[in-house]
């Protein structure tokens, strides 16, 4: 009789109750009739369609009636009942008969160890797999639009990251989890410096995104950095200059998502993006096509909103580390270039390449006095820091009297400190711009730095 007084739900086994709850939730989320719409027009890079209940960032399928052809697009804008779609590809073949079907999900990338040693496109399709590289077959989905780690969960930058380049390891020491910008004009050697970093950096996994490059340059980069499986721990994401703006943007998101995957599995990851300038141009194309107003040098507001969201995803988490290098093409004066100015303000350090140094045939053409690593003091010893400051001081003193030396007006013996800077100028130049055929270890670099600073 006691059981008869219980509520109908109270005597059910717990497993049945939980199963019913899951079923109710699934029914609530199920679309009883597949919502779809039709293309109403194509405007430049964007497709306009009347599609019900879509969200910004949602992935949509585009199907051609009578064929099996399926394309995908992202929702980048909404105007009343009209959705603005950016295609994963060109608009060729789109018609008013094209059916648009919301998927209800945001884009993801399939990630795993199988990507190591591979060259892929922005959608994760493998273009080339290095011979002899066989990662585990584990696969998982990683969201392209993931939030950055919470500020209070980030591990501090506390360990140096050797890159094999004396000028950087000695005077601009990078830390694991730092985000560094490489700024320079055309022809100053940004891509060469990036390839040297990718080849020599001490990391478990290296992920590199080449955005808007010429196809020839990508082939050369692959042969230089990943010949015959030499970089079996590297993943290269490419989107050449002729690809749609959304694909160039997604190449950076894909590379970042892959780097996040390995970082969150406890790896020491290095992410390289070449370049932020071409990424910003792709975002500008998308924003202007969606009707945004140009505000700074033709760039719409969304560009300056998206850049910090992308940069903040790099850095350390509770599980692993993720150091990022972003190259920036400086057009004219850096202070008048909005992308260079914005990027410098958002990152943890800047390596400035000088056109004057490059024209003199000195590589890497790093202007030490204009460059700075904001985390260096946290990852080097006091002895290393003092030696670095002393070399910087000698470079600054030499710069003050360089003109006098060139015109023959400099007289030795008037200032012992300046005399020392002049005497050691050739040795310092060989240390910084020696173009070492073989990468120096961090210990070798520090030893040479201390010797020069005596």
pLDDT in the model for residue 374: 95
**Cα–Cα distance, 453 to 424 (Å, whole number):** 10
Q: Residue 217: its pLDDT value, please? A: 84
Q: Is the distance from CB of 127 to CB of 119 less than 8 angstroms?
A: yes
| Predicted pLDDT at 2 | 47
Quote the pTM value. Answer: 0.87
Characterize 242-262 residue by residue with b for buried, 16 or more Cβ atoms within 10 angstroms of its Cβ, and e for exposed.
Answer: ebbbbbbbbbbbbbbbbbbbb
What is the rounded distance in angstroms from the CA atom of residue 384 to the CA atom of residue 114?
40
Considering only the top CATH level, what class is 383-452?
A: mainly alpha
In the 3-class helix/strand/coil scheme, how is the chain assigned residue by residue?
Answer: CCHHHCCCCCCCCHHHHHHHHHHHHHHHHCCCCCCCEEEEEEECCEEEEECCCCCCCCEEEEECCCCCCEEEEEEEEEECCEEEEEECCCCCCCCCCCEEEECCCCCEEEECHHHCCEEEECCCCEEEECCCCCCCCCCEEEECCCCCCCHHHCCCCCCECCCCCHHHHHHCCCECCCEEEEEECCCCCHHHHHHHHHHHCCCCEEEEEEECCCHHHHHHHHHHHCHHHCCCCEEEEEECCCCCHHHHHHHHHHHHHHHHHHHCCCCEEEEEEECHHHHHHHHHHHHHHCCCCCCECCECHHHHHHHHHHHCCCCCCCCCEEEEEEEEECCCCHHHCHHHHHHHHHCCEEEEECHHHHHCCCECCECHHHCEECCHHHHCCHHHHHHHHHHHHHHHHHHHHHHHHHCCCCCCCCCHHHHHHHHCHHHHHHHHHECCCCCCCHHHHHHHHHHHCC
Q: What are phi and psi of 384, to 5 degrees?
A: -60, -45
Low-confidence stretches of the chain (pLDDT < 70) are 1-12, 28-34, 130-137, 227-230, 333-334, 435-437
Question: Per-residue pLDDT tens for 369-402?
Answer: 999 999 999 999 999 999 999 999 999 999 999 8
pLDDT the model gives residue 163 = 95
Q: Which CATH architecture has domain 37-102?
A: Beta Barrel (2.40)
Name which CATH class applies to 108-379. alpha beta
pLDDT digits (tens, 9 = 90+) for 159-178: 999 999 999 999 999 999 99
pLDDT confidence of residue 1: 45
Domain boundaries along the sequence of the chain? 37-102, 108-379, 383-452
């Amino acid at each position: 009789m006691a059981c008869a007084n219980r509520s109908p739900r109270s005597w059910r086994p717990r497993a049945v109750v939980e199963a019913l709850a899951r079923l109710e939730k699934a029914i609530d989320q199920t679309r009883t009739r597949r919502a779809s719409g039709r293309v109403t027009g194509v405007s430049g890079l964007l497709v306009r369609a009347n599609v019900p209940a879509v969200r910004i960032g949602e992935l949509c399928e585009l199907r051609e009636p009578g064929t099996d052809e399926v394309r995908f697009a992202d929702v980048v804008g909404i105007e009343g009942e009209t959705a603005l779609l950016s295609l994963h590809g060109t608009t060729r073949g789109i018609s008013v008969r094209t059916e648009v079907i919301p998927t209800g999900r945001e884009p993801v990338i399939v990630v795993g160890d199988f990507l190591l040693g591979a060259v892929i496109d922005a959608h994760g399709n493998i273009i080339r797999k290095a011979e002899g590289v066989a990662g585990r077959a584990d696969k998982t989905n990683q969201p392209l639009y993931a939030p950055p780690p919470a500020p209070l969960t980030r591990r501090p930058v506390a360990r140096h990251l050797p890159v094999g380049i004396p000028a950087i390891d000695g005077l601009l020491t990078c830390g694991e989890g730092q985000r560094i910008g490489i700024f320079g004009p055309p022809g100053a050697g940004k891509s060469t410096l990036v390839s040297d970093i990718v080849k020599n950096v001490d990391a478990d996994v290296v992920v590199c995104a080449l955005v808007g490059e010429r196809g020839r340059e990508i082939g050369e980069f692959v042969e230089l950095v990943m010949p015959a499986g030499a970089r079996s721990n590297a993943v290269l994401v490419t989107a050449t200059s002729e690809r749609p703006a959304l694909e160039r943007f997604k190449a950076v998101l894909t590379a970042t998502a892959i780097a996040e995957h390995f970082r969150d599995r406890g790896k020491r990851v290095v992410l390289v993006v070449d370049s932020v300038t071409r990424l910003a141009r792709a975002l500008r194309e998308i924003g202007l096509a969606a009707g945004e107003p140009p505000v700074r040098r033709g760039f719409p507001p969304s560009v300056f909103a998206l850049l910090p969201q992308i940069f903040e995803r790099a850095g350390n988490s509770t599980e692993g580390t993720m150091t990022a290098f972003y190259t920036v093409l400086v057009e004219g004066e850096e202070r008048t270039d909005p992308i260079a100015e914005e990027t410098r303000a958002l990152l943890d350090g800047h390596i400035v390449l000088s056109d004057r140094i490059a024209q003199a045939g000195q590589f890497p053409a790093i202007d030490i006095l204009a460059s700075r690593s904001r985390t260096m003091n946290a990852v080097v010893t006091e002895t290393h820091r003092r030696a670095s400051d002393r070399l910087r001081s000698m470079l600054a003193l030499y710069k003050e009297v360089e003109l006098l030396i060139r015109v023959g007006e400099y007289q030795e013996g008037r200032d012992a400190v300046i005399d020392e800077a002049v005497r050691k100028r050739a040795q310092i130049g060989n240390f910084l711009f020696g173009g070492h055929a073989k990468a120096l270890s961090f210990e070798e670099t520090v030893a040479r730095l201390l010797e020069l600073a005596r």
